[in-house]
Amino acid sequence: MQVFLPQEIGFCFGVKRALKLVLNEIKRNGKIYTLGDLIHNSQVVEDLKRKGIESIENLSQIKKGTLVIRSHGVDLSLIEEAKKREIRVLNATCPHVVEVQNIVKSLSQKSYLVVIVGSNTHPEVKGLMASVKNGKVYVVKNEGEAEKLPSVRKMGIVAQTTESLDNFSNIVKNLIRKGKECRAFNTICRIIRERQEGILKLAEKTQAVIVIGGYNSSNTRQLVKLCRSSGAKTYFIEKEKDLDIEELKGIKRIALTGGTSTPRETIEKIKNKLSLVN
Ligand code: SF4
């Protein structure tokens, strides 16, 4: 089997940075907590657990120690609350997410109705919503939801960093009719865009695609959705042991990719295994 990899695989800049900050923190004394799993990858989370790093769901679960804010970011008032309670805060919010939070904050301060294209249950989007200090914020997933938004004088639109460019631009086209002044910021992360473009190119010259990453990882799921909607035969697995070689029999050319929380080594191991298949 011939196996193709895109140029970019492995952890993105934001994930690498968050992991580095947490691993450095281990050198200090004291318990370390992450608010939610640090990254959407069960193997990495298990490894962190073995190193004594505990994932909690809310602030009330801890009294002291270090609280790590993961790369998705959070509502800034939560950081304030933790500091008030004398909990040490290590903010690993990805700088690109901070940039989007600042855009949202500035739009709301200038009285724009803020529209976020993404999923309202995703922690990054929750953090963005909390950055709106004045006025209203809407979260829309698709054109149908965008259609239902009210017409306003000033509207500012941003995207969750993992959104697909096609969905974002279709929604923007739709919303442009709803605001007298309509400002759209393409806040999709460059790394996400490149991964999406990279795998679509490889899908054209192969018979199937395997997307590797956490089942709960938003950017991995976007890759799967994109590959499937391009018509590519797409398999979605989390780790090497999910690989079903029998299912892939007859495939001569296959492409692999992974989400931004998928370690490079996992993808390379799978590549090596598939390269041995006749
Ligand atoms: S995908 Fe982009 S925005 Fe998200 S953590 Fe990685 S670098 Fe940051």
User: pLDDT tens, position by position, for the chain (278 residues)?
Assistant: 999 999 999 999 999 999 999 999 988 878 999 998 998 888 889 999 999 999 999 899 999 999 999 999 998 889 999 999 999 999 999 999 999 999 999 999 999 999 999 999 999 999 999 999 888 999 999 999 999 999 999 999 999 999 999 999 999 999 999 988 999 999 999 999 999 999 999 999 999 999 999 998 989 999 999 999 999 999 999 999 999 999 998 999 999 999 999 999 999 999 999 999 87
Cβ contacts of 243-250, under 8 Å, gap ≥ 24: 243/210, 243/270, 243/273, 243/274, 245/273, 245/274, 245/277, 248/1, 248/208, 248/274, 248/277
Tell me how crowded residue 54 is: count the other CB atoms within 10 A of its CB: 13
Domains, in order of start, for the chain: 2-9+190-275 (3.40.1010.20), 13-94 (3.40.50.11270), 96-184 (3.40.1010.20)
The alpha carbon of 219 and the centre of ligand 1 are apart by a number of angstroms equal to 9
Ligand 1 proximity of 184 Cβ (cutoff 6 Å): no
Residue 85 pLDDT: 93
Strands (E), 71-136: 88-91, 113-117
The alpha carbon of 261 and the centre of ligand 1 are apart by a number of angstroms equal to 10
The alpha carbon of 128 and the centre of ligand 1 are apart by a number of angstroms equal to 14
Residue 73 pLDDT: 92
Contacts of 89 (CB under 8 A, 6+ apart): 66, 67, 69, 79, 82, 83
The alpha carbon of 50 and the centre of ligand 1 are apart by a number of angstroms equal to 25
CA angle 252-256-260, nearest 5°?
Answer: 180
Residue 278 pLDDT: 76
Q: Say if CB 261 and CB 238 are below 8 A apart.
A: no
Tell me how crowded residue 270 is: count the other CB atoms within 10 A of its CB: 21
Ligand 1 proximity of 15 Cβ (cutoff 6 Å): yes
Q: Could you tell me the pTM of the whole model?
A: 0.90
Ligand 1 proximity of 192 Cβ (cutoff 6 Å): yes
In the 8-state DSSP scheme, what is residue 273?
H
Reported as a single tens digit per residue, the pLDDT across 31-67 is: 999 998 998 888 889 999 999 999 999 899 999 999 9
Ligand 1 proximity of 152 Cβ (cutoff 6 Å): no
Strands (E), 39-108: 53-56, 66-69, 88-91
% of the chain at pLDDT higher than 90: 87
Letter for the amino acid at 124?
A: E
Residue 75 pLDDT: 87
Reported as a single tens digit per residue, the pLDDT across 181-218 is: 999 999 999 999 999 999 999 999 999 999 999 998 98
The alpha carbon of 94 and the centre of ligand 1 are apart by a number of angstroms equal to 6
SS3 content of the chain, % helix, strand, coil (to 5): 45, 20, 35
Ligand 1 proximity of 128 Cβ (cutoff 6 Å): no
Strands (E), the chain: 2-4, 32-35, 53-56, 66-69, 88-91, 113-117, 137-140, 152-159, 179-184, 208-212, 234-237, 253-258
What angle, rounded to 10 degrees, do the helices at 123-130 and 95-109 form?
40
Residue 9 pLDDT: 95
Half-sphere exposure of 48 (CA within 13 A, CB side): 26
Ligand 1 proximity of 14 Cβ (cutoff 6 Å): yes
Catalytic residue numbers, as ranges? 124
Mutate to test the pocket of ligand 1, among 8, 9, 11, 12 (most ligand atoms within 8 A of CB): 12
Q: Tell the residue nearest (CA) to atom 2 of ligand 1.
A: 189
Mutate to test the pocket of ligand 1, among 15, 98, 128 (most ligand atoms within 8 A of CB): 15
